[in-house]
Structure 1
Amino acid sequence: MFVPLADSNPLEHVERPYVTWGLLLLNLFVFVALQHGAFGEVSEAGVLAYGTIPAVVTGEAVLPEGYERLPAALSLVTYMFLHGGWLHLLGNMAFLWVFADNVEDAMGHWRFLAFYLLCGIAAGLAHVAADPGSEVPLVGASGAVAGVISAYLVLHPNIRLWALVLMKIPLRVPAAWVIGAWFALQIWQIATSADQETAWWAHVGGFLAGAVLVVVMRRPGVALFDRDPSGVPSVSAQRRTER
């Protein structure tokens, strides 16, 4: 298993990835200040009120009295800013930190924000469709982050990045290896049903949404797969890969 640490892929269109930084800070703020993650257990009330519960979204169930704070459909947005614990939060933020700045660079600030939210919504809908009667809340940014790493794969598959292999060996490997291994794990988990506590279908839904949306939401002229309009690898991509 690969855990990304850093890439060597400089920004070309934006000076600073403000939306990426904002998303990182917002997720941290919600967890520490609103979910009380810094002081003990995550608030059950917050998870029920703002997490996505498939049975509530589909109308098969309703929240207990006092927990209904917004329409069920809006939970498809709010759930992606909640997390179940520090490891859950930090794992998602590690992927966001490494991959999101270059996707934001390829789209621009506001389109990237819309892209991120759409990927998260698609992930939530995939989770609901996979188990519409479930009363277990879905929380976490992993579906939206899956869309980000999918977009990075479509844009920069050959860029080398530092990653922890088997959680302990730092190696410099192509992004396609890291992302491919991550996606293969999602499919394997779905096929074997080895872990029912993780929303694997949300990850797959976000990933597929990201792969499609990046094609239509990137800036005009931004290449896919690090190729220029002639169909060959761009000079800038070759230089980034060689670093």
Structure 2
Amino acid sequence: MIPISDRLPTRRFPIMTVLLIVANVVIFGFELLLDMLGLLEPFIYAFGVVPYRVLHQFDALTAFSFFSSMFLHGGFLHLAGNMLYLWIFGNNVEDALGHFRFLIFYFLCGVLASLAQVLASVNSTIPGIGASGAIAGVLGAYLVLFPHARIITLIPLGIFTQLAELPAVIVLGFWFILQLFNGVLALGLPSAGGVAWFAHIGGFVAGWLLVRLFAIGRRQAIRYYHY
């Protein structure tokens, strides 16, 4: 299932969501430039989260990588998929939490997501990059705040596709189960580049738990949407 949009209106312009998307796109453009210069690989290694380095060679740059890694992507599809999810689900979560709370929430979920991936692959020297851990936190928050919101979803059916309007609890529940399934399958396998399943799992659980704390004092905004 691929979410395309939702039916929830927003009362305010989602400035933080838009700024995050712009920042990710601009930095990806910088990555393309580095790639042409042959400098991308050391850049990714320096600013991505490397589990082995976190546990055995922790320093200021390693600490910063928990933040910087959220703005790095491994290709256009990686970026496009993440930004699509951030736009669909981030604008409403930002509207409910408020701009600055949302931004802090986003970064905190991203850090916790990276920690989850580090703990799941302690000896890996592969740098973890991408906004998906932080965005998974946004998905967890969306599930808590708007479980019955209608999500317009593209469903592949062999060589055909079907558009369907499904409740968020179905779309996001299916997404989370898929991450769990693939994460369990990946346990014990040799380290290799690919999807950071436990970053997705950790980010989603963090968002699902933390949104209640960040929503304190925002009950009116939440009631406006919670149907």
> Is this a same-fold pair by TM over 0.5?
yes
5+ unaligned residues in a row in structure 1: which ranges? Answer: 63-67, 229-233, 239-243
1:173 equivalent in alignment to 2:166? yes
Report which stretch shifted further, 165-174 or 76-85. Answer: 165-174
Residues 74-89 of structure 1 aligned to structure 2 (within 5 Å): 74-89=64-79
- Taking the aligned partners of 1:36 and 1:95, their CA distance within structure 2 comes to 25
1:155 maps to amino acid: L
5+ unaligned residues in a row in structure 2: which ranges? Answer: none
| Residue 171 to residue 52, structure 1, CA distance change in 2 (3 Å) | same
| Residue 222 to residue 39, structure 1, CA distance change in 2 (3 Å) | farther
Could you tell me whether the CA contact under 8 Å between 1:42 and 1:85 is conserved in 2?
no
- 2:25 aligns to what? 28
Residues 25-64 of structure 1 aligned to structure 2 (within 5 Å): 25-36=22-33, 43-59=40-56
Shift of 1:169: 1.8
Please identify which structure carries the higher helix content.
2
1:206 equivalent in alignment to 2:203? yes
Residues 112-123 of structure 1 aligned to structure 2 (within 5 Å): 112-123=102-113
Which TM-score applies when normalising by structure 1? Answer: 0.83
Which TM-score applies when normalising by structure 2? Answer: 0.88
Report the aligned-residue RMSD: 2.5
Residues 43-192 of structure 1 aligned to structure 2 (within 5 Å): 43-59=40-56, 71-166=61-156, 168-192=161-185
Give 3-state SS (helix, strand or coil) of 1:173's partner: strand
1:190 maps to amino acid: G
- Taking the aligned partners of 2:139 and 2:90, their CA distance within structure 1 comes to 7
- Taking the aligned partners of 2:226 and 2:39, their CA distance within structure 1 comes to 43
1:216 equivalent in alignment to 2:209? no
- Taking the aligned partners of 1:182 and 1:27, their CA distance within structure 2 comes to 23
Question: Paired residues, what number?
Answer: 220
Task: Please list every run of at least 4 consecutive aligned residues from structure 1 whose deviation after the TM superposition is greater than 2 angstroms.
Answer: 33-42, 191-197, 221-224
1:51 maps to amino acid: G
2:82 maps to amino acid: N
- Taking the aligned partners of 1:96 and 1:139, their CA distance within structure 2 comes to 16
Shift of 1:21: 0.2
- Taking the aligned partners of 1:148 and 1:22, their CA distance within structure 2 comes to 15
Shift of 1:45: 1.9
| Residue 40 to residue 207, structure 1, CA distance change in 2 (3 Å) | farther
User: Between the two proteins, what is the percent identity of the paired residues?
Assistant: 40
| Residue 85 to residue 101, structure 1, CA distance change in 2 (3 Å) | same
Shift of 1:187: 0.7
- Taking the aligned partners of 1:220 and 1:84, their CA distance within structure 2 comes to 38
Report which stretch shifted further, 28-37 or 191-200. Answer: 191-200
